[in-house]
Amino acid sequence: MANANENTYGAIADKYAAQYGIDPTTFRNLIRSESSFDPYAINPRAVNGENAAGIAQFLPSTAQEKGVNVFDANSSLEGAAKYLSELTVKYGSTAAAIAKYKGYTDINKGIAETKNIVGNAPVVDNASPKSMIDMLKSPVDTAKGVGGKIADFFMSGFYPILIGFIGLLIIVLTIWSVFKSK
């Protein structure tokens, strides 16, 4: 249920969610869980000696890194949507991204404890790399689409190995041709 703050800032949250490829309902759920849309909220529970603040509950170190003014709702919501989008690309699902956003080090535990934000999202096993088939079977929940998932797969390990192999092959063939011509 929307409160007065959500009525005030919800449209801004929706705008940035759309801009960064995040489901607006999920993004609103995240912000609601963080601060109830209170742009001046301060969480006194310290994380590494830091207190989260603002509508999107940024830690000071993360806010500084992302260039976010935590007490400016516009800056904070844009920063949160962009950061969540980056985490979604990095961890492969919105559910995993939200778990990391909320500070969980164990992604599966974070997903289980934040299901009310995202719904029934697939569990991500961060202990083993995903196969190409697993990546294509998982929901496409980023603006990158399937092509982006394929690119992520190749850049995650296969492509650099292939380039290294091709480079080694070129060196071997060059040396072989030099010795063959003598």
Query: pLDDT digit string (tens) for 116-157?
Result: 777 544 444 333 334 444 444 444 444 445 455 555 555 555
Asked if 158 contacts 166 with a C-beta cutoff of 8 angstroms, the reply is no
Q: Which of 28-32, 60-64, 154-158 has the lowest mean pLDDT?
A: 154-158
**How far is the C-alpha of 10 from the C-alpha of 25, rounded, in Å?**
10
Q: Tokens for 41, please give them.
A: 């909220």
Residues forming a β-bridge with 58: 53
Q: Give me the catalytic one of 6, 34, 50, 78.
A: 34
Helix orientation angle between 4-19 and 24-35, rounded to the nearest 10 degrees: 130
Asked if 97 contacts 87 with a C-beta cutoff of 8 angstroms, the reply is yes
Catalytic status, residue 6: no
